[in-house]
Homo-oligomer: A and B are copies of this chain.
């Protein structure tokens, strides 16, 4: 893990960009000298890790005492897209504009993104836990499909907050019943591109006995800030 930039923020949080092989990422660590619990903050594929609202959330979590890390997974953010990927995205835009069904296109787009992202998240997790300033336990926050896969495959994940907005491939919907860690599931009630019923069905399917759904009115990007605060309390119950 090579740190390539470093910035000390006003509240003492250290923000560093890193590379790990081909993986570009950002790590925020709190001012405290003690090893911090870690939150893997995985954004949906459409957003770069440098997007303002993700950075704001990560800095807030770090200021609350968590190490927070994010990466651009393959085909996401600043990573190159394959010609096949570009083609699927073009197909998707065309189908959406035409009002045609998009599930199969989403499957062929998001399915491989998830498959490719998870091994890189696990590699990143190995490297992060080797840093002296990071102790664990480990939480996960964000992209639902990757989070399901990771929560099932990776025993080091102790709690997870999933954002319901975003296509969840059939494989991960099927896998949801094997998620057994405490879960906070965040739904934007009027999310334009994500059917509400599908999100409610997914909440129903999660296998864990300790799961809470939080729903707020508004569209995909309208999550109120109070949910960032609730997220911190959720991780506070399970990671500290």
Chain A contacts to B: CB under 8 angstroms: 189, 200, 203-204, 209, 211-217, 224, 226, 229-230, 233, 237
The reply to whether A214 and B217 form a contact with Cβ atoms under 8 Å apart is no
Asked if A211 meets B203 with Cβ closer than 8 Å, knowing A226-B237, A230-B230, the reply is no
A184 to B: closest C-beta gap in Å: 10
The reply to whether B212 and A215 form a contact with Cβ atoms under 8 Å apart is yes
Main secondary structure on A side of the interface with B: mixed
Contacts of A215 in B (CB 8 A): 203, 212-213, 215
Contacts of A213 in B (CB 8 A): 189, 213-216
Contacts of A217 in B (CB 8 A): 209, 211
Copies in the complex: 2
Contacts of A203 in B (CB 8 A): 189, 215
- Minimum-distance CB pairs A-B, first 10: A213-B215, A212-B216, A214-B214, A211-B217, A212-B214, A209-B217, A213-B213, A212-B215, A213-B214, A226-B237
Contacts of A209 in B (CB 8 A): 217
- Assembly CA distance A216 to B182 (angstroms): 11
The reply to whether A211 and B216 form a contact with Cβ atoms under 8 Å apart is yes
- Assembly CA distance A237 to B229 (angstroms): 12
- Assembly CA distance A188 to B213 (angstroms): 10
CB nearest neighbor in B for A230 = B230
Contacts of A233 in B (CB 8 A): 229, 233
A82 to B: closest C-beta gap in Å: 39
CB nearest neighbor in B for A206 = B217
- Assembly CA distance A237 to B204 (angstroms): 30
The reply to whether B214 and A189 form a contact with Cβ atoms under 8 Å apart is no
Can you give 14 A-B contacts (C-beta < 8 A)?
A: A189-B203, A189-B213, A200-B200, A203-B215, A209-B217, A212-B214, A212-B224, A212-B226, A213-B213, A213-B214, A213-B215, A213-B216, A215-B215, A229-B233
CB nearest neighbor in B for A229 = B233
- Assembly CA distance A229 to B230 (angstroms): 11
CB nearest neighbor in B for A197 = B200
A2 to B: closest C-beta gap in Å: 41
Q: Apart from A211-B217, A212-B226, A213-B215, what are 20 other A-B pairs with CB-CB below 8 Å?
A: A189-B203, A189-B204, A189-B213, A200-B200, A203-B215, A209-B217, A211-B216, A212-B214, A212-B215, A212-B216, A212-B224, A213-B213, A213-B214, A213-B216, A214-B214, A215-B215, A226-B237, A229-B233, A230-B230, A233-B233
